[in-house]
Structure 1
Amino acid sequence: MVPALSAPRDGPRGAGSTRLNGPVTSAPATPHPALVAALRADLTSAGYTADAVRGAWGSLADEAIGHGLHGPALAALGERTDALAVLCRLLFLGAPAPRAAVDAALPSLGAEGLAALGLADRDGDTVRATALVRPQDFADARGAGQWWIASDLDEAAIGGALPTGHVLGVGGASLTLAGLQLPGHAGLALDVGTGCGIQALRARRTVDRVVATDVSARALAFTALNALLNDVDGIEVRLGSLFEPVAGELFDRVVSNPPFVITPRVEGVPEYEYRDGGMAGDDLVAAFVRGVGQVLALGGTAQLLGNWEYRTGADGLDRVREWVAASPVPLDAWVVERELLDPLAYAELWVRDGGTAPGSPAYARLVEAWLADFADREVTAIGFGYLLLRRAEDEPTLARYERITQGVGDALGIHQGAALTAWDRLARTDDEALARAVLTVADDVTEARHHLPGAEAPSVIELRQGGGFARTVQVDPALAALVGACDGDLPVGVLISAIADLLEADAAALSADLLPRVRELLFTGFLAWG
């Protein structure tokens, strides 16, 4: 049986700890299969699903939970004693429950079995959760489904700041990265910094086997439990730092939501294992980018979230570009910056994330420590975004670094996968071949024309993308006409010649102008091969 999940982590950074830059110990054993099977059966019997939980307390209380407020949900459950209500209180909200009610809600496992799995403690006739088990909906190219995800109690259940060994459940960043994972089958995947295992579970839907690593034995225990709880095989857990546990192995895919948060290295600032890699500044993300190519098979991809610093006179995306260039193996790179925060906003975000309340003396002290740390390195802003890297066969061909701050679609993994496929096809397609191609407009593309009052011709023409990165591209009349005529009937070259006649323009010059922009529209998903 796995050690109780409520047992403490390996402790603070130092001798014997399992920080990213520290020594490691052996990984935990697998939870007892019979106990986990009993829990799975009881959760199924109780109808403990995401929809049922939301229905039990309503949309307002559900939104309040996202803000760390459990009171409205507890009030909505009232005095209900049915199995669903008991599980909502105990396993979703972390509130204590009478032992008799828990035994009735979990008839196969009971309170005793829940404690044996390390998910609860018994205090006389009261059962107190030591972990959360929450239903989580998911959807990908293969369809929709649901998992149960066990993780540590959140700050609302604890009633204060999180312990530094906290194992995070499924949050916004986790869902973002899960949605970014590329579709299509692959043989072997690596999940670096697996935490509760959500990325490993997501990857296993399209790969044959997943190796999930973490510096925390406690995190690996949760990952092993969650794989077993959801009846998912083929996930192996290994304890260790970055790529140390897989030295000498090659993977088709690597995915990571690493502990990328920039934390001051000073006395009195908590170092949360789930978000803090133990390195200064953005060195953790830099080390990942520089090193991941050595565990990628040829053509293998790595996807991660990260922060990067803007320092006086240096653009943050240029820093990422330097990390990619420093890789000992060639890497294609597509990096999307989604957000840019100033040092104060960044400091306040992560101090609050640790459960320290604004207005308290501790809050002010921690924020000031962050600001002093940024000032030491002349940091003016911090970027956040998505990194997609691919081991190139020879020289890299894709080097795309861009800022996209608007709201984006849900199926970004599908979109990015299609973009990579389009990129590779375009690399094999010269301009003559592209002129012979028959193209169609993507289903989610619309056109908007803006006219000055009284003007017959539009002053601005825009192509708008409903899915993917929801891009808006300003086009001229010639490109607008070409896109509008791409209906899968005539080749691009024929269309360009016809447009040149209408505009009384030179066909060769117009082709030289439009074809590079057609390539961009194919990559970004506005156009597709017919």
Structure 2
Amino acid sequence: MPEATASVDRTLVRTGAHGLVALGLASLADGEVRPAAVVRPQSYADATGSGQWWIASDLDEAALGGPLPEEHVLGVGGASLTLAGLQLPAPAERGLDVGAGCGIQALRARAHVGHVVATDISPRALAFTRLNALLNGVDGIETRHGSLFEPVAGETFDRIVSNPPFVITPRVAGVPAYEYRDGGMVGDDLVAAFVSGVGAHLAPGGVAQLLGNWETRDGVAGLDRARAWVEASPVPLDAWVVEREALDPLSYAELWVRDGGTLAGTPGFARLVDAWLDDFGARGVTEVGFGYLLLRRPAAGPPTLARYERLHAALPGDGVGAHLAASLDAHDRLARLDDGGLAASVLVVAPDVTEARHHLPGEEHPAVIELRQGGGFGRSLSIDPGLAALVGACDGDLPVGVLIDAIADLMGVDADALRADLLPRVRELLFTGFLRFA
């Protein structure tokens, strides 16, 4: 709300009304200070602790009372919080935030990374990134202007994070090109370009994490197209890609038209939706997936991780970044273990795992045995009695092979056959966090 200049000067003693104007956060007219930005508290939490930041950004559509300007700098939204929670909590020396926006990812990365370079095509976004670092007393964040990897040509990083402007937008007149969400490319080409270029900027062992959209075109699933991007990378990459949601073209169009502040029933809504549908139709798009990509440049040797999966459910909460880090560690350890080494390993059940057994009325044996994960991605798995017995016996005492032999004896089945059946599934339970190495 506008306030009298004298009142602002009394309240913000050091900055004053003219200081707000100099910072680009307000304007002066007729003795009043009119805000050009909003500053909100934003709590955060990860495996290392919790706290609160103050985050400045441009006024949203509720404050403006209409559609956003194309140069709008977005505050912290649901996607931003998701990516912040996905960031690996392991320490690293150099980090890069591509498409920094208001700077929330750079702030989160700086908690674990010694120095972070934040890039954006918007000078105003970079100004907000610098302001938010100052507001929260965070040093070690350097801003650079430019698109994608242009500002860091020839440089490599241990950690790269990006909430890029991945929203698929028609390239036709009359459709706003919002800088915070539209990278200026056709379809999902921006995410494809990121995947193609990121490997050259990852140090050996370095990890990139980003959000993205991918189109299902002419019968080719979006996840399969994402796999093709990774496989075509000039630098070989490990990949773990998770699709969390998929929308039909109409739902996708309506979502992003509303996001820009044009509501259903208002002038221009139907015209914008039609532009999206025409754009999708021209490319044969039948579905748009949204999800997360984790890409890693192997420290040595060829890639060993290629995982593409659909998990259409909400994340259970904080701590997913720590779960991702633990999964990568488990994968690397498993890659060094043959079946004999795995059989000799001692395992324990993760503390967030529970088991549910469902019985038909009057039946002694369960019809369904289910493992449920309270953390991580909140997975739920139906398992058979043999695997249930093995998981239940993993208490950090005996090796897996000894347990399987005992279970085979109890069940009256061949021990070698049971090993061949269970060990691949034990690998999966270790990667997904149901089991851990003792």
Identify whether the pair has TM-score above 0.5, normalized to the shorter chain.
Answer: yes
Residue 452 of structure 1 and its aligned partner are, at CA, apart by: 1.4
Query: What does residue 454 of structure 1 align with?
Result: 362
Alignment of 1:266-277 (within 5 A): 266-277=172-183
Q: Which amino acid aligns with 1:167?
A: V
Residue 116 of structure 1 and its aligned partner are, at CA, apart by: 2.4
| Structure 1: tracts of 5 or more residues without a match | 1-94
- Structure 2 distance, partners of 1:101, 1:484, is 67
- Structure 1 distance, partners of 2:420, 2:9, is 74
- Structure 1 distance, partners of 2:288, 2:312, is 14
1:235 aligns with one of 141, 145, 150 = 141
Query: What does residue 114 of structure 1 align with?
Result: 20
The reply on whether 1:284 has 2:190 as its aligned counterpart is yes
> Aligned to 2:356, what secondary structure does the other structure show?
strand
Query: What does residue 49 of structure 2 align with?
Result: 143
| Structure 2: tracts of 5 or more residues without a match | none
- Structure 2 distance, partners of 1:103, 1:489, is 68
- Structure 1 distance, partners of 2:209, 2:2, is 39
- Residues 400-458 of structure 1: CA deviation (Å, up to 9, x unaligned): 00000122222111110100000001111111111111111011100011111211111
Alignment of 1:468-483 (within 5 A): 468-483=376-391
- Structure 2 distance, partners of 1:105, 1:470, is 47
2:244 aligns with one of 338, 341, 346 = 338
Query: What does residue 159 of structure 2 align with?
Result: 253
- Residues 334 and 398 in structure 1, CA contact (< 8 A), matched pair in contact too: yes
> Aligned to 1:381, what secondary structure does the other structure show?
strand
The reply on whether 1:195 has 2:101 as its aligned counterpart is yes
> Aligned to 2:148, what secondary structure does the other structure show?
coil
- Structure 1 distance, partners of 2:366, 2:10, is 69
Residue 97 of structure 1 and its aligned partner are, at CA, apart by: 2.3
The reply on whether 1:398 has 2:333 as its aligned counterpart is no
Query: What does residue 13 of structure 1 align with?
Result: none
Q: Which runs of 4+ in 1 moved over 6 A?
A: none
Q: Which amino acid aligns with 1:207?
A: V
Query: What does residue 62 of structure 2 align with?
Result: 156
Aligned pair count? 436
Query: What does residue 178 of structure 1 align with?
Result: 84
- Residues 91-128 of structure 1: CA deviation (Å, up to 9, x unaligned): xxxx2223343334323333232222221122233221
> Aligned to 1:150, what secondary structure does the other structure show?
strand
Alignment of 1:505-516 (within 5 A): 505-516=413-424
Residue 372 of structure 1 and its aligned partner are, at CA, apart by: 0.4
Q: Which amino acid aligns with 2:183?
A: G
- Structure 1 distance, partners of 2:135, 2:260, is 28
Query: What does residue 423 of structure 1 align with?
Result: 331
Query: What does residue 373 of structure 2 align with?
Result: 465
- Structure 2 distance, partners of 1:442, 1:126, is 59
TM-score w.r.t. length of structure 2: 0.98
Aligned-residue CA RMSD (Å): 1.0
The reply on whether 1:439 has 2:331 as its aligned counterpart is no
- Structure 1 distance, partners of 2:178, 2:310, is 29
Q: Which amino acid aligns with 2:130?
A: A
- Residues 452-492 of structure 1: CA deviation (Å, up to 9, x unaligned): 12111111111000111000111100100000011111111
TM-score w.r.t. length of structure 1: 0.81
- Structure 2 distance, partners of 1:254, 1:112, is 37
- Structure 1 distance, partners of 2:45, 2:373, is 21
Q: Which amino acid aligns with 1:181?
A: Q
- Structure 1 distance, partners of 2:92, 2:166, is 27
> Aligned to 1:394, what secondary structure does the other structure show?
coil
Query: What does residue 384 of structure 1 align with?
Result: 290
- Residues 248-267 of structure 1: CA deviation (Å, up to 9, x unaligned): 10100110000000000111
Q: Which amino acid aligns with 1:185?
A: P
Query: Whose strand fraction is larger, Structure 1's or Structure 2's?
Result: 2
- Structure 2 distance, partners of 1:184, 1:283, is 30
- Residues 361-385 of structure 1: CA deviation (Å, up to 9, x unaligned): 3000000000000000010000000
Residue 172 of structure 1 and its aligned partner are, at CA, apart by: 0.5
